[in-house]
Amino acid sequence: MSRQVDIQIALDRLAALSQPTRLSAFRLLVKAAPEGLAAGLIAADLDVPHNTLSTHLGILERAGLVSSRRDGRSIVYGADLASIRVLLIFLVGDCCDGRPEICAPLVEVARLACSPRSARARRRA
């Protein structure tokens, strides 16, 4: 992929996440990974009308951040964690410039954010 294509993909993904309902939906789907959630459950959790949520999920899906599958009468959405990984690598890929100590704080943030202790603290908040 060319650098320009990488930039456009990153911009599309960041733009998709730059709206409060979409960001909340994506974060909810990350928590529900890898199983995902039915659209109706997402709408209820976020207190958003189904048609409005459908539009937001469509934007996230076109940006490659979520995928959907039919499960009976429901559509189940899931976060595409690989796409977020690619976005994060793109954002910090040039960070180290041969000096890994520069990125060490980012590694620590990721480790802390993903720890079971941190998840419990977020649930209490």
Task: Express each pLDDT in 42-64 by its tens digit.
Answer: 999 999 999 999 999 999 999 99
87 and 60 in one domain?
yes
In angstroms, the CA 40 to CA 76 distance is 9
Indicate if the pLDDT at residue 1 is higher than 60: no
How high is the pLDDT of residue 102?
A: 79
In angstroms, the CA 54 to CA 119 distance is 28
102 and 54 in one domain?
no
Tell me which H or E stretch contains 78.
strand 74-79
Angle formed by the axes of helices 39-46 and 20-31, nearest 10°: 120
Task: Express each pLDDT in 80-122 by its tens digit.
Answer: 999 998 888 888 877 777 777 877 787 788 788 877 765 555 5
pTM above 0.85, yes or no: no
44 and 56 in one domain?
yes
The residue range of the domain holding 115 is 96-125
Answer with the residue of higher pLDDT: 15 or 102: 15
